[in-house]
Every structure is written in C-alpha cells, then in structure tokens.
A = this chain, B = another copy of it.
Amino acid sequence: MRQAGRYLPEYNATRKKAGSFMDLCRSSQYACEVTMQPIDRFGLDAAILFSDILTIPDAMGLELNFVEGHGPKFSKQIKDEKEIINLPDIDPTLELKYVEEAVSTIKKELNGSIPLIGFSGSPWTLACYMISGGSSKDDFLTARSWLYKKPKTLESLLKKLTTIIVDYCSMQHRAGADIIMLFDTWGGLLGENQFKKFSLKYMEKIVKDLHKEYPKLPVILFTKGGGNWVSEIAKTGCNVVGLDWTVDVTSVIKKIGKLCSLQGNLDPSVLLGDKVHIEKEIKSVIDKFTYNNFNTGHIFNLGHGISQFTPPENVECLVEAVKKYSSRAI
C-alpha cells in the first residue's frame, strides 16, 4: 500500500516535475514512472497502479485537491438527495480515460514481468469522503449521520457508485490490470449490521458483477478495521481478504478455513524500526499464516499504507526478509 510514494526520493523528484498530486495521477507517463520506481528499486513481485481512491468523485465533478498536511479535499460536497440525483452518471472510459491510459502504459512497461494490481475505493468509503467533503477529523461523522437520518439517500448514492466502480474496475482490467483491489478504508467505522447493509452488500455486488464478466479475475477486498467480519467478507466470493495490522491471523484462519487467500497484516510502523526488529516482525507475520497448515495463499503486504517517513533501506530489508522466510522463493 502506497508502494510508490513520498518515502522514495525518486518519487518526490517526479512529483516535483509533474506539479500537483492530481497532475501526477492524470499523466500516464508520470503515473507509470512512479509505479515502476519501487519495482526497479526493490524487485517486488507485483506492481500497483499509481492513482488515488478518489478519482471517481473527482470525475463526477466534486473536484479533488490535496492540501499539504490536510489530506484530500473536494471543492464541492454532497449535501442532499437532489445533489445525488444531479451527480452525472459518468462513463470511466471517457471521464477517467487517464486511468485507462496509465494502466496500459504501465502494463507495457512491465512487459509481462510481474502482475499489475488495479484498484478503487469501495462505495461506502467514497461516500464518506463525498458527504464529508474530504478527509475527516471526526470519523466521518456527517457521513455516518446519513445512516440514521437519510438511509435511502445514502443507498441511492452507494448504488450509483457501485455501478461506476464496476465499470471503472472492468476498464482497468481490460487495459491490463491482472488483479483488482477494493479499499474499504472506512468500513470499520460501522457497526456489524450497518457494515453488511451499507458497505459489504455493495462490495459483494461489485465482486459478483466483475466475476460474471471476468470469472478468473482475482478480486481483493480490504476493510480497515473489519477483522471481525472476515467470514462475511470471504463469503462475497472475493478471492483475497486484506487484513489490517490489528487483526489476529490465527482466529481469521479458524474462521475462513480455506475459503480464500489472505493479504497484509504487517504494522507499517514496524518499518520505522531498525533492521533486526524488522526481520523479526516479518518472520512473526509469516509464521502466523502457517497456522493449521493454511495453504490457500498469503500475499505479504502491510496492514495499511506505508509511512512517508519510512527509510527506503528498511523496505529493502523487508523484501529480503520476506524472501528468506517465505516457504518458497518468490
């Protein structure tokens, strides 16, 4: 997560050339350049498209900006049902053509060496940002208030986003993304029933729609703070469940058996330590995934985005440790 990013000096150099963060995303040449940087430096075994989870609301007219030190902010905010009705039904192959171009440029550059992961935010996570107008200091309180006072309005927004996300992920797959990942960053802000009704239901629809068209396309679902609901997430038919760093892997394996593969779990803060501790923690994470002869597959990954303060040599140390302790060489 955030494989390419501010912890890499070469990323910062490209970002400087490109202009704003969104300028970087919108240029297929620059997006390809930064996507390849961690691959070239660390020899990773999968690339992830450089983009942002908020490209869809941006293309719907909300105008995304990144204010230094304040995170994402929209120029417009969704306030009521009328505004949802008025949101354009965008066609990603038109309004988000720059993402399609970035994917195909990266795909060409990778030249079949390693798989490429495309992604989107989940409907609930996009709705959180759209209703709150950007990042939030209060756990997206305004968006959460819609769960109670405007559930129908919220559902119509989630439905609209679901359709667009299916089209968006299909487009990425056709352009060359071998795997699709949905980031449900704010699913953990919901109670269990709310999660099923306002987040999982729509992610399940996306998984099913993608698999109807592309039965062999692997789909990863990652709900931050969703450790309790791994069984329900696995039952959507997704191929991989992403785990944040707070999740107890043993109890996850007990719950899901061999239903699907797992990804993640390393606390990104481990990478702020020294190499001895990094190696120790990576061994510990890998060991956990051997519980009960779990052999449905573990994609080594962080449990959330990498910190901008991570020394790049610590990521190198991570890659070496993963190769050392994984049961077979990658």
Contact = CB atoms under 8 A, between A and B. Distances in A.
A145 B142 CA distance: 31
A141 B188 contact: no
Interface residues of A, number: 36
A270 interface: yes
A189 B247 CA distance: 10
Interface string A11-48: 00000000000000000000000000000000000000
Contact of A269 (B147, B227, B245): B147
Given A141-B269, A225-B225, A281 B148 contact: yes
Nearest to A268: B141
A145 B192 contact: no
A71 B228 CA distance: 30
A81 interface: no
Given A188-B246, A191-B245, A270 B148 contact: yes
A246 B272 CA distance: 30
Given A267-B144, A307-B141, A190 B246 contact: yes
Interface string A186-198: 0011111100000
B246 A149 contact: no
A278 B299 CA distance: 44
Interface of A: 71, 137-139, 141-142, 144-145, 147-149, 188-193, 225, 227-228, 245-248, 267-270, 272-274, 277, 281, 304, 307, 309
16 contacts: A138-B307, A141-B268, A141-B269, A141-B307, A142-B272, A144-B267, A145-B273, A148-B277, A149-B272, A190-B246, A191-B246, A191-B267, A192-B246, A192-B248, A193-B248, A227-B228
